[in-house]
Amino acid sequence: MALPINWKILLIDDDEDIRDIMAITLKDAGYSVICAPDGYAGLMLATREEPQIVITDIKMPGLNGLEVLEKIKKIKPETEVIVTTGFGDIKQAVKALQYDASDFISKPIDDGALHMALKRAMQRYVDRKQLSDYTSLLENENLKTSAELVKNVNFQSSLIENSMDGILGCDENDTVLTYNRSMEKLVGYPKALVLKKMRAKDFFKPERFLKLKQDLSGSHFGGENRLFLYETALLSMEKKDIPVQVSGFILSRDTVQNSMVLFISDLRDLRTLEQQVTDQAKLLHREKLISLGRLAASMVHEINNPLSGILNYIRLMIRISGKDGNMAKDLTPDKLNKFASYLKIIESETQRCSDLVSGLLKFSRRTKLEQNSIDVADLIHHSLLLCNHKLALSNIVLSEHCDPEIPPICGDFNQLEQCIINLIFNAIDAMKNGGALEIRTGFNRKENLVFISIKDNGKGISEEDLNFIFEPFFTTKNEGYGVGLGLSSAYGIIEKHKGTIVVESRLNAGSEFMIKLPPKESEDKSKRD
């Protein structure tokens, strides 16, 4: 498709570097580009400048990308909106498609993916504009007979045939008069078997068609005698359900009553994407449960030691108190002191067991992303509480260096703990014959970022594998040690916390994973702005 001179794109992103790079790329490709640093400014520019295409980040302070999408679609429905999203926001991207976004692009943004998304958005815009013009023509012309409706439809046959959406046009008896190539591809019926032979109800289950007709004649789904982004299901030629999104209207003129035109979009790809998101969430939880199983296996020994101590001290206390439990006769000050010291040890060891079990239970839970103030030292302490015995069993020497001056960070304690435990487990797996693990935390004042470093002296990562380690399902481990989601889930967790995670590694020389996160004060300032 040739690029018209007047294609105008509005780019909305709160990251100035991303805006600048994308603007340069788009201008070099011949587009007219306007930029906005946040959702509110973007909405004002969209209203004033009327761009055909908007590219917006989902995660922004103030008015987020989904809210921008909804408001733009209400103001100017024909505007095509492309959303950009990080790894951790795929669910939001799916929701954006349900809100009629034309596409989504994952960050970091690839030029090829960007231009492909723009090409699709431009085609959708052109198709919808032509269909909108044609709809106005059908509604505003004084059509006298159904035959004249057919004549006008035939006049626009090229437009209809090449539409990306399926188009189904019916007369007042629901007999099909318009049935385009996309509709034929969607349901499988050849046009020769459909036109003037089948009725609209033949493409639906009876109860679905009845509901569609009722909702179309009502005013709850886009206005009286209209449907807008209405979800239902068609029946294919093989009588299989096809999820679709329908927009349509009823023509009601003096001589043409209740003629119906439906514009139908295939939702199968969207449903597949939704299922993939659901499956990915299940797999991520499975990866977490695998880690939990490995923790629990080593925790048996960790808990057994204090329990054995508790049992021994209780037996000593029973001996001191006598078999009949009557201590009063010969309870000397020495025995009383021993009794008190044993109780203190029992309390301490019981608390230790309780902390371990509580940590395991907390780690195992499915949780939604929370935003709380987190002490980094506390985060490292709780993560190591669950890993210390595993490190000892693996003959790994731990050194820990935590800067006491680190400011708190903002985020979800449970998810960040999962991320750190995943990295510690990876380090353990890299040191099969034992080794050294160093954990450092600190605050880089120049970058205004808190950092957490996890460094091992294990087998390292090959240069070839380094490019793929954060990709879902990539693993170099043996079967049964994970599904290749540990590092990709860690990457997603850190990205959701607006941080970064990078690795430096050489084969047979160890690896260092560095997490960088903004301090809480930066997050608070971002929310205020």
Do residue 233 and residue 351 come from a single domain? no
Q: What is the 3-state secondary structure (H, E, C) of 180-235?
A: CHHHHHHHCCCHHHHCCCCEHHHHCCHHHHHHHHHHHHCCCCCCCCEEEEEEEEEE
On whether both 387 and 487 belong to a single domain, the answer is yes
**The CATH number of the domain where 251 resides is what?**
3.30.450.20
CA dist 225 and 83 (Å) reads: 31
Q: How far apart are CA 180 and CA 410, in angstroms?
A: 53
239 or 481, which is more confident?
239
Note whether 215 and 231 are within 8 A (CB). no
Q: Are residues 343 and 200 in the same domain?
A: no
The pLDDT tens digits of the residues spanning 122-134 come to 888 887 777 666 6
d(CA 199, CA 173): 8
Please report, rounded to a whole number, the percentage of residues in the chain having pLDDT higher than 90: 23
pLDDT at 298: 55
489 in the same domain as 376: yes
pLDDT in tens, 54-95: 999 888 888 888 899 989 988 888 899 998 886 556 667 677
For residue 36, pLDDT over 90 is answered with yes
Query: Do you find a cis peptide bond into 190, omega within 30 degrees of 0?
Result: no
Contact by Cβ (8 Å): 415, 456: no
| Residue 303 included in any domain | yes
419-447 pLDDT, tens per residue? 888 888 888 888 988 999 999 999 999 99
Q: What angle do CA 60, 88, 73 make, to 5 degrees?
A: 45
Which residue, 208, 235, 266, sits at the end of a domain? 266
The answer on 377 and 359 residing in a single domain is: no
DSSP string for residues in 111-140: HHHHHHHHHHHHHHHHHHHHHHHHHHHHHH
Q: 49: Cβ–Cβ under 8 A, 6 or more apart, which residues?
A: 8, 10, 34
Supply the DSSP string of 393-457, one letter for each residue.
HTTEEEEEEE-TTPPPEEE-HHHHHHHHHHHHHHHHHH-TT-EEEEEEEEEETTTTEEEEEEEE-
Q: Which residues contact 129 (CB under 8 A, 6 or more apart)?
A: 78
Range of the domain at 191: 143-266
In a domain, 3, yes or no: no
- Claim to verify: residue 406 and residue 487 sit in the same structural domain: yes
For 303-330, how does the pLDDT look when each residue is reduced to its tens digit (9 = 90+)? 665 676 677 677 777 776 665 555 555 6
Higher pLDDT, 18 or 34: 34
Asked if residue 2 is part of any domain, the answer here is: no
139 vs 171 pLDDT, higher one: 171
**Pair (258, 150) in one structural domain:** yes
User: How does pLDDT run across 462-476, given as a tens digit for each residue?
Assistant: 877 777 676 654 455
Q: Into how many domains does the chain fold?
A: 4
In a domain, 278, yes or no: no
Helix axes 376-393, 268-321, angle to 10 degrees: 70
| Separation CA 43–CA 58 (nearest Å) | 14
